Amino acid sequence: MAKYKNEIVGRAAEQERLRRALGSREPELVVVYGRRRVGKTYLVRSFFGSKIAFELTGAYDAPLSEQLANFGRALRSAPGSAHRDAGMPASWSEAFEQLKRHLAGLAAQREKRVVFIDELPWLASRKSGFLRAFEHFWNAWASSRPELLVVVCGSAASWMTRTLLHARGGLHNRVTEAIRLEPFRLAEARAYLESRRVKLSPYQVFELYLALGGVPHYLRQVQPGRSAAESINRLCFAPDAPLRDEFKLVYASLFEHPERHEAVVRALAKQRSGINRAALLDKSGLRSGGGASATLEELEASGFIARVSPHGRQVKDSLYRLTDEYSLFYLRWMERAASSGPNVWLTKRGSPSWRAWSGYAFESVCLKHITELKRAIGIEAVETTEASWFRAGDDEPGAQIDLVIDRKDGCINLCEMKFSETEYAIDKSYARELATKVSAFAAATRTRKALFLTMVTVSGLRENAHKHDLVQSTVDATSFLR
């Protein structure tokens, strides 16, 4: 059987930025950050390949002596190293002096020499002295070497942002390129699966994405010849399911006090429409203040949650939503699974609980693909703002619209998302609900813009009188896969 090529799927914009740094005539300090398992290490190694002159990876929760020992081994095994007999450095200052001698001793090259330091936050623990030594290495030596490209990676996005991108000390304004690596979008996820000979229908790609999201490490474990449901069952519910303990591992590896972050995520998993800051802190048991603010900022920076501003309201009225597909799936299904086996997930598909979860997850995925949604509507060139909308049910019945696309051309798309394996049919009850939403929005906003009710589905919208009476445009979400 032929081996898979070590090729990069997708990541076109990120590759272009790395390519510019590689071709630069100036020294470059590149920061690549993003959540655990998103493919940062793979991207850097695959893109630079043999151009990496030195690579060091931090070890999680390891003492200083172990980190320095790992450095010594990495230096001795580096390409062209003249330090085969070098002992373990006594400090990070000494370690970077050794690295300088190694780099200076390499034969003159026109191309950049790449230094790759992975999982930097694990190296820069308190009292380790790593950051001070790294700052000195860059400011006193590396920043004057036009042939040098230093790439640092880290999964703790908020730490990377605070310590490197917004540094106030010796690294202030030193970063020349910052790349936040996001999970695959739908089109990238499909291309990645196909590169591994996993052939699924558009609907099944969606089903897989709703449960696992676009995290490459999760998708990598999907096997050819299995349906999406079979793969979800094997990865999440089998006795030896590889993603069974991933929820705890993700938050523990990223955050210093993961119990706070888990509490926020658990609270949001129960709120389909999102909730404001005060309600979120109350439901998660966090006290208002700096600690709570830091927790929310860290989760947002890492891509687990997002703030959305309801249409027509101020920023202070923003709502928080859970946006990480795997976390929602774990809390809704895996944590409460009473059994494991070959058919656990297959028995749940199509149940009322499954329909509720898939509807929310599909809506969340569509909100992440606004660019693709606008393209499908045919308004990608139109300037727009996007928001949700709701009316509290005090004096009148409550109403909510999943997505409002407010256009500069005098129109507004009111988008409703429905996930269904077959054509979705608007029945009499839902038709009344849709009509109420549109009239409530028009009355509450007093807009003079044309209102277009837009239905977003995976398998189409069934032809009937309700469709023709209410719906102005339909979107085939499978176009997001292209």
pLDDT tens per residue across span 377-417: 999 999 999 999 987 765 666 788 989 999 999 999 999 99
Residue 75 domain flag:
yes
Structural domain for 393, as ranges? 372-481
Mean pLDDT (the chain, rounded): 92
Q: Are residues 41 and 127 in the same domain?
A: yes
Our separate counts of H helices and E strands in the chain read: 21, 12
Domain CATH number, residue 79 = 3.40.50.300
Q: Are residues 59 and 136 in the same domain?
A: yes
Q: Is the confidence at residue 340, as pLDDT, over 90?
A: no
| Banded pLDDT at 34 (limits 50, 70, 90) | very high
Q: Are residues 69 and 164 in the same domain?
A: yes
Q: CA-to-CA distance for 152 and 117, rounded, in angstroms?
A: 5
Q: CA-to-CA distance for 330 and 423, rounded, in angstroms?
A: 28
| Banded pLDDT at 325 (limits 50, 70, 90) | very high
Q: CA-to-CA distance for 131 and 338, rounded, in angstroms?
A: 47
What does the pLDDT average to over 177-205? 97
Q: Are residues 19 and 154 in the same domain?
A: yes
Q: What is the pLDDT of residue 354?
A: 94
Residue 187 domain flag:
no
Contact 211, 241 (CB under 8 A): no
Q: Are residues 259 and 175 in the same domain?
A: no
Instruction: Extract the tokens encoding 303.
Output: 């891509």
Q: What is the pLDDT of residue 5?
A: 41
Pairing mode, strands 113-118 and 148-154: parallel
Q: Is the confidence at residue 1, as pLDDT, over 60?
A: no
Q: Are residues 68 and 139 in the same domain?
A: yes
Q: What is the pLDDT of residue 4?
A: 34
- List the one residue out of 433, 435, 427, 479 whose CA is nearest residue 456: 479
| β-pair partners for 305 | 322
Q: CA-to-CA distance for 202 and 42, rounded, in angstroms?
A: 26
Q: Is the confidence at residue 84, as pLDDT, over 90?
A: no
Domain end residue (candidates: 284, 310, 334): 334
Q: Are residues 23 and 163 in the same domain?
A: yes
| Banded pLDDT at 38 (limits 50, 70, 90) | very high
Residue 189 domain flag:
no
Q: How open is the CA angle 467-469-474, to the nearest 5 degrees?
A: 40
Contact 45, 52 (CB under 8 A): yes
Contact 341, 236 (CB under 8 A): no
Helices (H), 302-422: 325-329, 344-348, 352-368, 370-377
Domain CATH number, residue 316 = 1.10.10.10
| Banded pLDDT at 355 (limits 50, 70, 90) | very high
Number of domains in the chain: 3
Q: What is the pLDDT of residue 109?
A: 60
Q: Are residues 271 and 396 in the same domain?
A: no
What are the backbone angles phi and psi of residue 414, rounded to the nearest 5°?
-100, 105
Per-residue pLDDT reduced to its tens digit, 63-83: 999 999 999 999 999 988 776
Q: Which long-range contacts (CB under 8 A, 24 or more apart) does 178-181 make?
A: 178/30, 178/31, 178/33, 179/14, 179/17, 179/18, 179/30, 179/31, 179/32, 179/33, 180/33, 180/34, 181/11, 181/14, 181/32, 181/33, 181/34, 181/38, 181/39, 181/40, 181/43
> Under 8 Å CB-to-CB from 5, ≥6 apart: which residues?
none
The strand ranges marked E within 259-322 are: 305-308, 319-322
Residue 344 domain flag:
no
Residue 241 domain flag:
no
What are the backbone angles phi and psi of residue 126, rounded to the nearest 5°?
-60, 135
% of the chain at pLDDT higher than 70: 95
- List the one residue out of 469, 308, 444 whose CA is nearest residue 386: 308
Q: Are residues 326 and 378 in the same domain?
A: no
Look-up of token digits 């946006």 = 323
| Banded pLDDT at 309 (limits 50, 70, 90) | confident
> Under 8 Å CB-to-CB from 450, ≥6 apart: which residues?
410, 411, 412
| Banded pLDDT at 286 (limits 50, 70, 90) | very high
Q: Is the confidence at residue 288, as pLDDT, over 90?
A: no
Residue 366 domain flag:
no
Q: Are residues 148 and 28 in the same domain?
A: yes
Q: What is the pLDDT of residue 82?
A: 72
Higher-confidence position of 337 and 331: 331
Q: What is the pLDDT of residue 449?
A: 97
Domain end residue (candidates: 311, 334, 357): 334
Overall pTM > 0.75: yes
Q: What is the pLDDT of residue 394?
A: 58
Q: Is the confidence at residue 158, as pLDDT, over 80?
A: yes
Per-residue pLDDT reduced to its tens digit, 130-142: 999 999 999 999 9
Q: What is the pLDDT of residue 129?
A: 95
| Banded pLDDT at 2 (limits 50, 70, 90) | very low
Q: Are residues 381 and 328 in the same domain?
A: no
Q: Are residues 301 and 381 in the same domain?
A: no
Domain end residue (candidates: 126, 157, 180): 180
Per-residue pLDDT reduced to its tens digit, 216-238: 999 999 999 999 999 999 999 99
**120, burial (CB in 10 Å: exposed 0-12, middle 13-18, buried 19+):** buried
**Which amino acid belongs to residue 107?**
A
Q: What is the pLDDT of residue 338?
A: 66
Which phi-psi region, left, alpha or beta, contains residue 350 (left: φ > 0; alpha: ψ -120 to 50)? left
H/E element, 148:
strand 148-154
Residue 39 domain flag:
yes
**Which amino acid belongs to residue 231?**
S
- List the one residue out of 392, 429, 434 whose CA is nearest residue 417: 434
Residue 7 domain flag:
no
What are the backbone angles phi and psi of residue 353, rounded to the nearest 5°?
-65, -40
Domain CATH number, residue 451 = 3.40.1350.10
